[in-house]
Chains A and B, each alone.
Chain A
Amino acid sequence: MSPSDSFDDLRDLYQEVILDHGRKPRHAIRLEEFDATAKGDNPMCGDRVQVWVKFADDGIGRVGFEARGCAISVASADLMAETVQGRTKTDTRALFAAFRDMARTGTCQACDPSLAEPIERLAPLSGVHEYPSRVKCATLPWHALIAALDGAKEASSE
């Protein structure tokens, strides 16, 4: 293929942000010190993720993860880790609900205006709604994170 190949047809789901975070995740580390950890497993496709959470004050201080899976799941885990840092647990749960809505439908219909900024950051993942079998790739790290917040070891599958 020539260098002029624009890749436009590939780009709508795999935006540069996803490729970038999928290739070079910033938070793909097992935290040495953590307060909670949980695993998520997608038996349909073999994707696996574990997240570690360190709390700070009344919220999330830091999130690290290890993921074995596609670019979407790694990018989603990385964007999640970045976005939830410094948020309260309640806030994080609300953000998850909004993100899941966006992953399933492409938009966040009933989004609370207070979530507009973080949802905007996660928006590059909204393209998965076109691929119902891949929505789980994007939401799996979140399930693991919520499980960790709940004190569970494993994310229950949907």
Chain B
Amino acid sequence: MNVMTNLVAFDVTRIRDDFPILKQTIRGKPLVFLDSAASAQKPRVVIDAMVQAMETQYANVHRGLYWMSERTTEAYEAARDATAALMNANNRSEIVFTGNSTGAINLLAHSYGRGVLRPGQAVVISGMEHHSNIVPWQMLRDAHGIELRVAPVTDAGELDMDAFAALLEDGKVGLVAITHMSNVLGTITPAERIVKIAHAHGAKVMFDGSQAIVHRKIDVQALDCDFYVWTGHKLYGPTGIGVMWGRKELLERMPPFMGGGDMISSVSYEKSTWAAVPHKFEAGTPAILEGIGLKAAIDYVQTIGYGAMAAHEASLTEHALARLAGVDGVRVLGQAQDRGGVISFTLDKAHSHDVATLLDRQGIAVRAGHHCAEPLMRRFDLDSTARASFGVYTTHAEIDALVDGLVRVREFFQ
């Protein structure tokens, strides 16, 4: 049956029917939503899964010895199985649920950073990180005597691989924490090569897959990385749930981050002992409904298939880059060879905030600002850009609407 669905060509009209919000009009115009990289819209199956759980079986998970708690625990833990399968994790216990990517990176910076790394060691990030993959490492640096090194970005918006390798030469680097896809430039970083270089110098690797998970099939065993984090709301799932995958032997060496209920084996005033992984890292009542919603989102994405999603997105990106190149005064930031459906640009006649507001008047939603990547903006001598980003439901006609809208904005400012 799955073979059959995969044979059916990608039908964006049918996919759009799965997303109730896309029937909305904004200021009397059909919604053109081009901000999926910030957070994606939710398909009906995700909405229904969460509502149904609340209406029929909701109870707290783990330890409730009654029917509803057992059913909810099963449904919540099924999210862990689905996540492990999505990423091809070796073992479901390698999946740690967090609040979002930011929560996952902070967990890692605390538990691995303070618990395993030693003062004098270094962490390498890149020049195209989201603030959430900069600030936790800065805090680690200041609290724990870890050096923070930044691998530069080329003018084309790619990772400078020679400079990256040079940063690892002295063998002091304990961890490389790098984005797998830039939320500003759309650049996909060469993950396999990064891992090879890092491992050859004795460093572990964490990828921030917040964007990549939406566009590429992630196989953590094939990548051979050590940690991989992402956030549910960008993969058509609910807010409030994120994922940290880590190799089991590493997770076992790491002390817990937060203490409380659910993460213990036993507690006395003298001493407490920790639950096994992953529960050691999941203190407190988890994001139960969000986990159930995430499972539905993963199932949804798996049914469409990464192959089809990536092909659709590549076609949209190519179309958008070609059309934007034809608009006077538009400058696209970054020309990476390997890139996903996120495009940042500036317009010569108007500031990006004005561009975003004037596009909104035409029913078109884009993001404008520094995109939580101020150092990257500074690298390109900019304060802000406008950004259009695509999802499974994005159409070529919506990109045409964006281009027409931009032409009008430029004329308006002429």
Chain A: residues with CB nearer than 8 A to chain B? 1, 5, 7, 9-10, 12-14, 19, 23, 44-48, 68-72, 131, 134, 137
Contact = CB atoms under 8 A, between A and B. Distances in A.
Interface in B206-237: none
Interface string B333-377: 000000000000000001111100110011000001110001001
A69 to B, nearest CB: 6
Interface stretch (B82-90, B164-172, B194-202, B405-413): B405-413
Interface in B390-414: 404, 407-409, 411-413
A69 B412 CA distance: 18
Contacts of A71: 350-351, 354, 413
B351 A13 contact: no
Contact of B412 (A10, A46, A48, A137): A10
A1 B384 contact: no
Contacts of B412: 7, 10, 14, 19
B357 A46 contact: no
A77 to B, nearest CB: 13
The residue among B350, B351, B358, B362 with the most chain A CB atoms within 10 A of its own CB is B351
Contacts of A45: 353, 368-370, 384
A9 B362 contact: yes
B318 interface: no
Given A19-B413, A46-B370, A69 B408 contact: no
B23 interface: no
Given A5-B408, A45-B353, A70-B354, A10 B370 contact: no
B413 A1 contact: no
B353 A137 contact: yes
Contact of B354 (A7, A12, A14): A14
Which 5 pairs of residues, A with B, have the shortest CB-CB distance? A46-B383, A70-B351, A70-B353, A70-B354, A71-B354
Contacts of A69: 351, 353, 383
Nearest to A48: B383
A14 B362 CA distance: 13
B383 A10 contact: no
A48 B383 CA distance: 10
B341 to A, nearest CB: 24
B351 to A, nearest CB: 4
A72 B361 CA distance: 15
- The interface size bin for chain B is 20 to 34
A71 to B, nearest CB: 5
B27 interface: yes
B370 A1 contact: no
A48 B27 CA distance: 31
Given A1-B404, A1-B407, A10-B361, A46 B384 contact: yes
A49 B404 CA distance: 32
Given A10-B358, A47-B353, 14 more contacts: A5-B408, A5-B411, A13-B357, A14-B412, A19-B412, A19-B413, A45-B370, A47-B383, A69-B353, A70-B351, A70-B353, A72-B353, A72-B354, A137-B353
20 contacts: A1-B408, A5-B411, A7-B408, A7-B412, A9-B362, A10-B412, A14-B412, A19-B413, A45-B384, A46-B369, A46-B370, A46-B374, A46-B384, A69-B351, A69-B353, A70-B351, A70-B352, A70-B353, A131-B357, A137-B353
A109 to B, nearest CB: 25
Nearest to B352: A70
Contacts of A5: 408, 411
A1 B414 CA distance: 13
Contacts of B413: 19, 23, 71
Contact of A9 (B353, B361, B384): B361
A1 B411 contact: yes
B398 to A, nearest CB: 18
